[in-house]
Amino acid sequence: MRRNTKFLGLLMAGMMGVLAACGNASGEAEYPNGNIEIVAPATPGGGWDTTARGIQNTLDENGLVEENMNVSNKPGGGGEVGWQYLAQQDSHAISINSSLLLTNNLLGQSELTHEDFTPLATLATEWISVAVPADSDIENGIDMLDRLKEDPTSLNIAVGPALGNNDHLSFVSVADEYGVDVSQLEFMIYESGGDVLTALLGGHVDVATMALSESLEQHLNGEIEIIATTADKPIPEDESIPSWQDQGIDYTFPHWRGIMGPADMTDEEIAYWNDTFSQMVETEEWGTLLENQGWDDFYLDHEGSVEFLEEQDQMYEELLDTAGMTE
Amino acid sequence: MGIDWNSFLEGLTTALRFENLLFIIIGGFLGTVVGMLPGLGAATAVAVLIPITFGMDPTSALILMGAIYYGSMYGGSRSSILVNTPGDASSIAATFDGYPMTRKGQAGQALTLATLASLIGGFFAIIGMMFLTEPLSSFALQFGPAEYFFLLLFTLSAVVSLSRGNLIKGFISMFLGLMMTTVGVDSQSGVYRYTFDIPHLSDGVDFLIIIIGIYAVGEVFYNLLNIKNEDLKVKSDVGKVWITKEQWKRMLGPAIRQGPVGFLIGILPGAGGSIASMISYSTEQQISKNRDEFGKGAPEGLAAPESSNNAAGVGAFIPLLTMGIPGSGTTAVILGALIMLGMQPGPMLFENQPEIAWTFINSLFIGNIVLVIINLALVGALIKILKTPSKILYPIILVLGFIGAYTLGYNIIDFYILIIFGLLGLAMKLLDIPPAPLILAVIIGSSLEQNFRMANVRYDSFMDILTASPIAMVFAALTILSIFLPKILNYLAKPKV
């Protein structure tokens, strides 16, 4: 009997040892150990969707992720629906994010914020431009601000698709800095960047604030004129495009996109993605993707992104306050 | 800019290359099938294909996506005609006379007629695209908030005026639709309206769910109530496939007239096939000798919207190719895909890469012919659907409707919304309230409101909006005419004693 117990004890200890070893081995080497789901909080074909599919493609082609990856679309509520979904998944789901993650919360439209997720990387930025029709008599950024300072309702400003987005906020904060009464500004809100461009080309608005990638082509063709950008360096396609900095206003504004996972990811899981994304941004495919979309590389790893989101959150709070959009 | 024959010929040869022809055929077939299914439209089909186009030659990718888009234009009217369930928004008008033709036992002829009308419309549009691309894109730019407001108002009034003799019911239907478009975030102010804290509702209710609900689900409910009623049975005699000489004569005029109309409306960003087909249908009804047959299976009433819708589909590519501005949901998806492939549609496209543009235009031309062949070949198979017993057919429609609704938002809340609109559709059928004004109001209501409010920011008074431009004034006048002209004509026609 005694012998038996001892034997059993030994056996169990041995088995546990083996199990523990297995556990260790599989745990460390095997995250991810299932399908990776990339959540695009948008309909197929939109900006977030193409980013998600671009990431999937780049990771796959370069063998950076061996597991199966699939993109799932969860559109609605400016990202809210997709992020609600992500919050309920395990660490095998990741999602694209942007400043809407912060502003939805600050505007009281969402309970979720950056602290409810694990930021994994910040990937790219694009700059925002202010453009006028080619035959406009507005000469430059300062000329426009002077007019608005004198009479904030003198110009119709096109923006899309919603107030509180980066195009809107960056415009308001420059104007505010210059001393314009921003609460009086007359914005016309169009459904998409394409509609903003159409309105500008047709001369139905005086000014438009929109992504540089959306306005650049028409500017190069002489159909519209970009009078200011939020960039911190010259635009390679046309170095004569002035930034706000060039015009004496110390203002830059990156419109970033990043990627995050659900809350409470382990250090090991975070390390895996740090490693994966740092390699991804070096690949040729990623470079082409950035170039095609008109984006700039803006890679930050997990630690960098956590810090960056914290800073951005404070900045947006002030911005929305300036724009008079917080309660 | 005249036509550049060198690039044109080069484009024609590229479009005729074996792999590109294959893409036209595959895309056209796929598009036709997807177009038939309620809710599954070209936008979804193209989006699902995006990963496949990675690494493809951009020209071939454009051809493939164009063929799917175009195929779904042809396919959309199939289910309108056969089971009174539009495949997408732009084939609603095809139910008006297409389904009555089926009820009369002319399903085969209706399908053939719609296909030929589409061919005629598409043909005019492609010719227009070849010669008039540049002047037309500047025409589209003339449309500001005031012009759009009156265009949309005219579309609504044109559809309401279709419910002859019962304008009140038409207006009730329209107002119900307008009310529904107030759900969601109001873009001008950022205020949340009737969203009940459901994030999914913040973008409003997708109009496709309302279409599927009111038409497909409503139709199924109605038939469930009347399953033993023999009067409602569609004649299982599906008639001949080829149209008669008389039908040909009657469809030719409307198809030729409404092609250019649809094309012009299609060029306007944001307008598109649903508006074009409604306007064409109601204009033909106003001017036709056989006015009284409209709604009862008149060939004119099917040919006009089909020709117009197809032409509008081609027109929507003009702002995309020349300005990089998508004119519809599907062209927006195509634009996204092209940018991923490193191609930038826009003012430089015709200058820097004319061969791509011309290859595409030629592929549309070839696609049009290929699709006519595909669709005529399918007529025989499709009319068999009508021989399916109701007990099998209606559950299938219901399942397809639910699948379609799910693919729009990937959210089960849409199922409840779908059932609610199914019941509404049933109630409207029982009360004999026409669904078309409601659906159209849902599609254009929010643009109507937003354009009106933007016009108010830009202009000082309503008179200024009205007199903003000749275009605005013309559409304002047409709006009033479309409501009152039938009354005036009736009055004048009354024999005076």
Q: Residue A298: enclosing H or E segment and its boundaries?
A: strand A296-300
Q: Given an 8 Å threshold on Cβ–Cβ distance, is B202 in contact with A77?
A: yes
How large is the average pLDDT for residues B442-450?
88
Q: Give the pLDDT confidence score for residue A22 in this predicted structure.
A: 45
Contact at CB, A44 and B140, closer than 8 angstroms? no
Helix (H, G, I), strand (E, B) or coil at A179: coil
Distance CA B439, CA B424 (A): 12
Judged against a pLDDT cut of 80, whether residue A318 lies above it is answered with: yes
Sign (positive or negative) of CA dihedral B143, B149, B154, B160: positive
| Residue located via tokens 């089960």 | B412
- CATH number for the A128-229 domain, one of 3.30.300.30, 1.10.3720.10, 3.40.190.10, 3.60.40.10? 3.40.190.10
Q: Is B193 on the interface with A (CB under 8 A)?
A: no
B239 to chain A, any CB pair closer than 8 A? The answer is: no
Q: How many CB atoms lie within 10 A of CB B364?
A: 22
Rounded Cα–Cα distance for residues A183 and B332 (Å):
33
Nearest to B190 among A75, A162, A289 (CB): A162
Tokens found for residue B398: 């219901």
Question: CB burial class (10 A; 0-12, 13-18, 19+) of residue B105?
Answer: middle
Give the mean pLDDT of B191-210.
82
Instruction: Establish if B13 touches chain A: CB-CB under 8 angstroms.
Output: no
More confident residue, A2 or A78: A78
The answer to whether the Cβ–Cβ distance between A76 and B411 falls below 8 Å is: yes
In contact, A220 and A201? CB cutoff 8 Å:
no
Contact status of B385 with chain A (Cβ, < 8 Å): no
Region B289-295 average pLDDT: 86
Rounded alpha-carbon distances, angstroms, from residue B81 to B84, B87, B97, B221: 6, 10, 8, 19
A-chain CB neighbours of B188 within 8 Å are 188-189
Q: Is A77 left (phi over 0), alpha (psi -120 to 50) or beta?
A: left
Q: How many CA atoms lie within 13 A of B120 on its CB side?
A: 24
Check residue B88 and give its pLDDT: 79
Report the pLDDT value the prediction gives residue A19, as an integer from 0 to 100. Answer: 47
DSSP, collapsed to helix, strand or coil, labels residue A270 as: helix
CB A210 within 8 A of CB A159: yes
Whole-number Å distance between alpha carbons of A157 and A185? 8
Beta carbons of B410 and A73 less than 8 Å apart: yes
Alpha helices, H only, B37-57: 42-53
Q: Which of B226-230, B257-261, B287-291 has the highest mean pLDDT?
A: B257-261
User: Which of B50, B325, B333 lies closest to A197 in CB terms?
Assistant: B325
What's the CA gap between B344 and A292, in Å, rounded? Answer: 8
Q: Which residues of B touch A78 (CB under 8 A)?
A: 202
Query: What does the longest C-alpha to C-alpha distance in chain B come to?
Result: 77
Shortest CA distance to A99 belongs to which of A260, A231, A304, A247?
A: A260
Among the partner-chain residues A50, A57, A199, the one whose CB lies closest to the CB of B336 is A50
Which one of A73, A204, A325 has the shortest CB-CB distance to B144? A204
d(CA B421, CA B410): 18
Residue-level pLDDT at B14: 86
When comparing pLDDT for B50 and B154, which is higher?
B154
CB contact under 8 A, A201 and B323: yes
User: Nearest 10 degrees: CA dihedral of A112, A114, A118, A120?
Assistant: 130
Topology given in CATH for the domain delimited by A31-124+255-322: D-Maltodextrin-Binding Protein; domain 2 (3.40.190)
pLDDT band for position B295 (50/70/90)? confident
Residues of B with CB below 8 A from A77's CB?
199-200, 202-203
| B188 close contact with A: CB closer than 8 A | yes
> B27-82, pLDDT tens digit by residue?
999 888 888 887 677 777 787 777 777 678 888 888 998 899 888 888 888 888 98
Label residue B384 exposed, middle or buried (CB < 10 Å: 0-12, 13-18, 19+): exposed
Dihedral angle, C-alpha A76, B68, B77, B379, nearest 10 °:
-140
Question: What distance in Å separates the CA atoms of residue B101 and residue B141, rounded to the nearest whole number?
Answer: 40
Count CA atoms within 13 Å of residue B147 on its CB side: 17
Chain B interface disruption, residue of A189, A192, A207, A326, most B CBs within 10 A = A189
Say how many domains are in chain B: 1
Distance from the A77 Cα atom to the nearest Cα atom in chain B, whole angstroms = 5
Angle at alpha carbon of residue B276, lines to B457 and B40, rounded to 5°: 100
Q: Which residues pair with A119 in a beta bridge?
A: A260
B415/chain A closest Cα distance in angstroms: 16
CB distance from B134 to chain A under 8 Å?
Answer: no
CA pair distance B186, B193, nearest whole angstrom: 7
- Whether residue A20 has pLDDT greater than 50: no
Residue A109 pLDDT level (bands cut at 50, 70, 90): confident
The per-residue pLDDT for B101 is 92
Judged by CB atoms closer than 8 Å, whether chains meet at A44 and B458 is answered as no
Q: Does A188 sit within 8 Å of B457, measured CB to CB?
A: yes
Q: If DSSP codes are grouped into helix, strand and coil, which group holds residue B484? A: helix
The C-alpha of B19 sits at a distance from chain A's nearest C-alpha, in angstroms, of 24
* Tokens matching residue B346: 């826009």
Nearest Cα of chain B lies from the Cα of A310 at a distance, in angstroms, of 25
Question: For residue A26, what pLDDT is reported?
Answer: 43
Nearest Cα to Cα of residue B300 among B31, B482, B137, B114: B114
Cα dihedral value B190, B191, B195, B199, nearest 10: 40
The alpha carbon of residue A201 is apart from the nearest alpha carbon of chain B, in Å, by 7
Write out the residue range of the structural domain in which residue B132 sits: 5-493
**Mean pLDDT rounded to a whole number for chain B:** 85
Token pair listed for A286: 């990623």
CA distance A32 to A69: 11
Cα(B173)–Cα(B422) distance, integer angstroms: 15
Residues of chain A contacting residue B189, judged by C-beta atoms under 8 Å apart: 163
Instruction: Find, among B98, B79, B305, B87, the residue nearest to B208 by Cα.
Output: B87
Question: Using CA of residue B30, residue B32, residue B38, residue B42, what is the dihedral sign?
Answer: positive
Tokens representing residue B367 in the block: 């696609």
CB A19, CB A30: distance < 8 Å:
no
Minimal Cβ distance to B270: which of A78, A161, A195: A195
Edge to edge, what strands does the sheet with A93-98 contain? A69-73, A36-40, A93-98, A255-262, A117-126, A296-300
Contact A106, A317 (CB under 8 A): yes
Query: Structure tokens of A109?
Result: 């439209």
Please tell me the least confidently modeled range out of A159-163, A253-257, B452-456: A159-163
**A208 near A200, Cβ under 8 Å?**
yes
Residue B25's pLDDT is what? 93
Chain B residue numbers with beta carbons less than 8 Å from the beta carbon of A164 are: 190
The one-letter amino acid code at B72 reads S
Integer Cα distance of B269 and A195 in angstroms: 8
Burial letters for B401-411: b for 16+ Cβ neighbours within 10 Å, e otherwise?
Answer: bbebbbbbbbb
- Which of A45, A57, A190 has its CB closest to that of B337? A45
Binary contact (B346, A292; C-beta < 8 A):
no
The predicted structure's pLDDT at residue B1: 45
Q: Do A80 and B199 touch (CB under 8 A)?
A: yes
pLDDT in tens, A189-206: 987 777 888 899 989 999
B177 vs B181: CA distance, rounded Å: 7
What is the percent of chain B where pLDDT is above 70? 95
**Residues of chain B with C-beta less than 8 angstroms from the C-beta of A202:** 140-144
Nearest alpha-carbon partner for B409 in B210, B151, B160: B210
In this structure, are residues A199 and A207 in contact, taking their beta carbons and an 8 Å threshold?
no
The alpha-carbon radius of gyration of chain A (Å, integer) is 24
Residue A79 has what DSSP assignment?
Answer: G
**Cis peptide leading into residue A161 (ω within 30°):** yes
Selection from B155, B78, B94 nearest residue B383 by Cα? B78
Looking at the predicted structure, is the pLDDT value of residue A9 above 70? no
Long-range contact pairs involving B148-151 (C-beta distance under 8 Å, separation at least 24):
B148/B268, B148/B270, B148/B447, B148/B451, B149/B448, B149/B451, B149/B452, B149/B455, B149/B465, B149/B472, B150/B466, B150/B471, B150/B472, B150/B473, B150/B475, B150/B476, B150/B479, B151/B268, B151/B271, B151/B275, B151/B475
- pLDDT at position B237, please? 61
Q: Does B450 touch chain A (CB under 8 A)?
A: yes
CB pairs A-B closer than 8 Å: 143
Inter-chain touch A81–B144, beta carbons under 8 Å: no
> What are the backbone angles phi and psi of residue A290, rounded to the nearest 5°?
-60, -45
> Are residues B153 and B278 in contact, defined by beta-carbon separation less than 8 angstroms?
no
Contacts of B214 (CB under 8 A, 6+ apart): B421, B422, B424, B425, B428, B435, B438, B439
Instruction: Give the pLDDT confidence score for residue B419 in this predicted structure.
Output: 94
The lowest-confidence range among A6-10, A188-192, B129-133 is A6-10
Asked if the interface predicted TM-score (ipTM) of this complex is over 0.90, the answer is no
For residues B217 and B202, give the distance between their C-alpha atoms in angstroms, rounded to a whole number: 24
What confidence tier does A307 reach under pLDDT thresholds 50, 70, 90?
A: very high
Nearest-CA neighbor of A42 among A86, A75, A72?
A: A75
Maximum mean pLDDT: which of A145-149, A182-186, B13-17: A145-149
Q: Determine, for residues B200 and A110 on separate chains, whether the beta-carbon distance falls below 8 Å.
A: no
Task: Look at residue A24 in the predicted model and tell me its pLDDT.
Answer: 44
Chain A residues near residue B340 by CB distance under 8 angstroms: 50, 53-54, 289, 292-293
Give dist(CA B85, CA B95) in Å, integer: 7
Phi, psi torsion values for B122, nearest 5 degrees: -65, -40
Q: What is the DSSP letter of B386?
A: G
- Residue B177: predicted pLDDT: 93
Q: pLDDT category, A227, cuts 50, 70, 90?
A: very high
**Residues of CATH 3.40.190.150 domain(s) within chain A?**
31-124+255-322
pLDDT of A10 over the 60 cut: no
Query: CB–CB of B279/B265 below 8 Å?
Result: yes
At A114, is the pLDDT very low, low, confident or very high (cuts 50, 70, 90)? very high
Q: Do A49 and B190 touch (CB under 8 A)?
A: no
